[in-house]
Structures are given as C-alpha cells and as structure tokens.
Structure 1
C-alpha cells in the first residue's frame, strides 16, 4: 500500500492528496496516518508546496465528510423512530424515544464533538453521520470540519515534511496512538454492551415473555386449531 500511495502522489500531486483523503473520510480504514506524513515528505521530493498539500488534504476532508453527513440526513428522525419501534429492536432494548433523546443531546452538547473528533483517529470520519441525522447546521458543520481537519492535516503533513526520510517514524508513532484509541473504543463499547444487556435487553425479554404469557391466559386455545 505504501508503494502504491508513493507512486500515486508522486504522479498526480495535489489531486492525489485530495482524492486519497476524500476516500479516507468516506472509508475510514484508509490510513490518513500514512497518507499525510508521506505527502509532507514528498514535498521535498517533488515540486509540490507544503501549504498547498495541506489545502488539498483539507478540501478532501471536507468534501468526504459531506458524503457521510448526507447519509446521516437520509437517516431522518422519523425513519429511525419507526425502525427502533419494531419488535426486534424493542427486544434489543431500544425505544423510539431514544432517537429524540440522542438528537436532543447532540443539539445541546454534541455539536462541538464534530470539531474535536476531527483530530481523533477512527471517529474523525464517522462523527459526520450523527451530525447529519441531527440536521446540524451546514454552515457550522462545514466550519467545524474545516478547522478540525486543517489542524489534523497540518500537524501530520508538517511532521512528515520535517522528518524527511524518516517520515515513516511519524507514521508509526501516529499509528501507535491510533491503536491506543481503537483499544479504548473497543473497551468502551464492551462496557456499554454489558450495561445495555443488563439494563435494557434482559428487562425487554422478560416483559415480552410476560406479555406472551398473559396473552395465552386470555386466549388459552389460541395455539390450537378448531376441531
């Protein structure tokens, strides 16, 4: 992958940087931790200029973020409430009211996370989806994404440029930080899952079982065909 990125950026310059970071925002497994330091290093090897590399990467970040923001807008509150009100979702402990609560929280306190998460691996791309679902202001979304992405891109491109031939060291260090973030996220997810099972899923299953038993008591012959 490293050789492919090296050749692609060397050949197509700013357009390659824009395209790679665009796809990195749409498809997070593509590593900006590799692309950005490499792009900074290639400023030394090519005719590219560091400020323009940062600009190309930032434009790619903003445009890519709007793809996921658009997906979030398609997942409207009404559609999510209908989905969460289905029996399978109720058995998993969800309620249609959870959607309004989540969107309400995002409106009150969560919008600033769009700015902060732009400098956090993994979630820096995915935060665009809840922003779209909550119908965050396009102007504010653009501003937060622009500022947060510019900081992330400037730091990594500049480090790659400063490191020169040792740019891979920058990539390794940032990937190490990314791995720590991923481990922390997995731990948080596991804790949330355990909490959700105990507080939501088990009570929901018990309530459904009690409801089925009550229905059987009211209609004791409902499971048998008439003779």
Structure 2
C-alpha cells in the first residue's frame, strides 16, 4: 500500500499531511485504519472522506485486505464518529440552545423551537440523506442528539446512509485505481456548491433579520413620538 503515498501528496499543507498520515495508518493496521480515518472525518469535516475511501478501495484491490472489510470498518468508523457528535448534541440539549438563541443577536428562541419541530418530523430522512452531503454529513448528527432522536433510529439511518456512501467511494478506488482523482474533482465542485449555498442562506437570514430589527426600532420610535 506504500505505492499509494504519491496519490495523496498532490497538494501541500497540513490537511494533505493529515490525509497522508491516515493513509499510512491503513498501511500499518489495515482496514481498521480506514475505520479510524472515517471516524476522524466525522468529527473533523475538513478531512475529506472522498479522498480516504478510494485509497482503501485501491488497497483492497491490491490484496492488502478484503473489500468487505474495508466497507465494514469504514461504516463502523462512520457510526462511531456520528455517535460522538450525537452525544455532544444530547449534552447541549434544547434548553441550552434556547438560552443561547436568546443571547445571540439576530436569533430568537422561536428559531430553535421551529428547528426542533422540523427535525422531530423529518429527522430520519435528514440523517439518512445528510450522509451524502459534504459538511452536513458530519453536522447532521448534532441536531439528532439535541432532539434526542431514539438511538436505534439514529443508528439505523446513520449506518444505512454511511454504508451506501462508503461503498460507493471504496468501489471508486477499487475500479478506477490511481485515476480516482477524476471523481474527486467532481466532489470538490459539489462541496463548493454546498458551501456557497450555505453562505447565501446565512447572508439572506442575516439580511432579513436586520431589516426586521430596523423596522421594529423605527416603529418603536414612531410610537414614542
């Protein structure tokens, strides 16, 4: 698997070095290393799973370990990482979020209640499909913990979504080999689109809230006059 080292060093920087270290971890302890790497990716979203999973597929294709073990341990890692974030969300809880929203400018406690109500209704679907969206793939576990989604349901949808995601990218490495970067380019584009959408949504939210605040203050001054 040492031949894979050249596939992960195309870019400099700490993130590339971290990915390289995770690849070397697979070299040392096999598919369990893939599980640890994906668990780390869940806890630290900048680590790209789409850069780690194909390398596990390449290693499996070269006989370092069976393909099914790569998929199994990657999925176990996904679930373990998601459970940690679920626990963080559970520790925060709805009451603390309401308290925070009441203190943060432009936020209202009602925002938390609406979000919680939405997640209680659509949580399973959000957890499952969230596994296929960069950034949200990790963060979706936190609101699931906040609303205390039944743990069996959380595990079921997390494992199902993660199994599909992990299998796809491990098979990319298995079939494409060193050419897996072709797929990575499209995933980078998809991730950038998601980031832009999130930034625009935040900007729109801030704009609307600021306008509401300004309007409320003007109406208040008008009443005083």
For the aligned pair, the TM-score class normalised by the smaller chain equals 0.7 to 0.9
Aligned counterpart in structure 1 of residue 118 of structure 2, from 88, 94, 105: 105
Residue 48 of structure 1 aligns to a residue whose secondary structure is coil
Following the alignment from structure 2 to structure 1, what is the Cα–Cα distance between the partners of residues 209 and 113?
17
Residues 137-175 of structure 1 show CA distances to partners (whole Å, capped at 9, x for unaligned) of 1111100010111111111112211223x2xx22x2333
Aligned counterpart in structure 2 of residue 157 of structure 1, from 167, 170, 184: 170
Following the alignment from structure 2 to structure 1, what is the Cα–Cα distance between the partners of residues 207 and 48?
36
1:72 is matched with 89
| Shift of residue 195, structure 1, vs aligned partner | 2.6
Following the alignment from structure 1 to structure 2, what is the Cα–Cα distance between the partners of residues 119 and 110?
15
Give runs of aligned pairs for residues 50-129 of structure 1, distance below 5 A: 50-86=67-103, 89=104, 91-92=105-106, 94-129=107-142
The answer as to 2:188 corresponding to 1:179 is yes
Give runs of aligned pairs for residues 193-212 of structure 1, distance below 5 A: 193-208=202-217
Aligned counterpart in structure 1 of residue 31 of structure 2, from 14, 20, 25: 14
Question: Which protein is bigger by CA-based radius of gyration?
Answer: 1
CA contact (8 A) 2:31 2:56 kept: no
The normalised TM-score by structure 1 is 0.82
The normalised TM-score by structure 2 is 0.82
Aligned counterpart in structure 2 of residue 30 of structure 1, from 34, 44, 47: 47
CA contact (8 A) 1:114 1:144 kept: yes
5+ residue gaps, structure 1:
219-227
Following the alignment from structure 1 to structure 2, what is the Cα–Cα distance between the partners of residues 30 and 186?
15
5+ residue gaps, structure 2:
1-16
Stretch deviating more after TM superposition (148-157 or 181-190): 181-190
Following the alignment from structure 2 to structure 1, what is the Cα–Cα distance between the partners of residues 35 and 162?
13
Following the alignment from structure 1 to structure 2, what is the Cα–Cα distance between the partners of residues 194 and 3?
35
Residue 47 of structure 2 aligns to a residue whose secondary structure is coil
Higher-RCO chain (CA-CA 8 Å, sequence separation at least 6): 1
Aligned pairs, number: 208
| Shift of residue 3, structure 1, vs aligned partner | 4.4
| Shift of residue 56, structure 1, vs aligned partner | 0.6
